[in-house]
Amino acid sequence: MRSIIENIGYQFGPGLAWLLTSVFIFLRYAIPASLVFLLIYKWKRKAWLERKIQQKFPKTAQLRHEIAYSALTSFIFGGMAIGIFILRKLGYGELYFEIEEYGWGYYIFTVFFMIAAHDTYFYWVHRLMHHPGIFRYFHLVHHQSTNPTPYTSFSFHPLESVLEFAIIPILTLVLPVHASAFFLFTLWSILFNVLGHTGYEISPSGFTRHRFFKWLNTPTHHNMHHRYSHYNYSLYFNFWDRVMGTNHPEYDRQFEEVVRRVKRGAKTGVAACMMLLSTCSFAQMSLKDIQNGQYGSPEYRTHQIDSAMQVGLALRKDQITPVHTINLRYSKRVEEEVVKPKLSDWSKYRRLMKIQKEKDKELQSVLSSSQFEKYKNKRDAMFWEGIKAYFY
285 within 8 A of 279, measured Cβ to Cβ: yes
The pLDDT score that the predictor gives to residue 94 is 79
CA distance 181 to 110: 7
Distance of CA 340 to the CA centre of its chain: 35
Tens digit of each residue's pLDDT (9 = 90 or more) over 85-139: 788 778 777 788 899 999 999 999 999 999 999 999 999 999 999 999 999 999 9
Tens digit of each residue's pLDDT (9 = 90 or more) over 20-59: 999 999 999 999 999 999 999 999 888 888 889 998 898 9
φ/ψ bin of 231: left (φ > 0), alpha (ψ from -120 to 50), beta (otherwise): beta
Distance between terminal CA atoms of the chain?
56
CA distances to 156, 205, 252, 302 from 210, rounded to whole Å, are 33, 9, 11, 48
The beta strands (E) that lie in 169-232 are given as 177-178
Shortest CA distance to 370 belongs to which of 296, 293, 312? 312
CA distance 360 to 354: 10
DSSP class of 203? P
pTM: 0.66
The pLDDT score that the predictor gives to residue 389 is 46
Write out the H or E segment, with its range, that includes residue 175. none
Give the chain's residues under pLDDT 70.
1-14, 263-296, 344-346, 349, 381-392
235 within 8 A of 217, measured Cβ to Cβ: yes
Complete DSSP assignment for 338-381: IISS---HHHHHHHHHHHHHHHHHHHHHHS-HHHHHHHHHHHHH
CA distance 381 to 175: 60
The pLDDT score that the predictor gives to residue 376 is 81
The pLDDT score that the predictor gives to residue 350 is 75
